[in-house]
Amino acid sequence: MAAHIVVMNIAAPFLVILFRRVAVIAPNPASARWIGPATAVQIALLWGWHLPAPLAFAYTVLGALMLMHVSLFGAALWFWWTVLEEAESARWRALGALLITGKVFCLLGVLLTFAPRALFVRAAELCLGAGTAAGSLLQDQQLAGLLMLVACPLTYVLAGVVIAARWLGDIERRGPSLLPDPSV
């Protein structure tokens, strides 16, 4: 779980920002149509891989585990690329994608944290060995949920604040021509 948090919320946005700065990529308005699919794919993959059966399968078959990591990382790269593209042209789309994704990731963290029992017993047995105490499985799951509840919103909220601040700064620099006329 910690690896997914680091890869999806730290490494992916950092690599996208780094690549965009080093390669000096010009904003591409044509990519605007991809923020919805990128958001949906990232959410679907995160939730799909965190269902008990796919997670147990991933810990049973090495190829499936690699597929899980690569697909989550690829989806995160795509998501952050489209968010940064939209941050240049249609900031409201970027903010919407960040809000939706942050909330849905938090929901998974809440479910993991407050579940009354361990949800991934089979996957844990495959990793830790059969007979692992249910109490320690639940504690590990709750810790993973807490990590998600702390790390994911920080990433998405921070990105949203940066985008909103740049947006407001642009409005302020352009002056009152963008503001509604109060006399009307």
Domain ranges across the chain: 2-167
Predicted confidence (pLDDT) per residue in 123-150, tens digit: 666 666 655 555 588 888 899 899 999 9
Provide the whole-model pTM: 0.84
Question: Residue 97, Cβ neighbours under 10 Å: how many?
Answer: 25
Predicted confidence (pLDDT) per residue in 79-111, tens digit: 999 999 898 888 999 999 999 999 999 999 999
Question: Residue 179, Cβ neighbours under 10 Å: how many?
Answer: 10
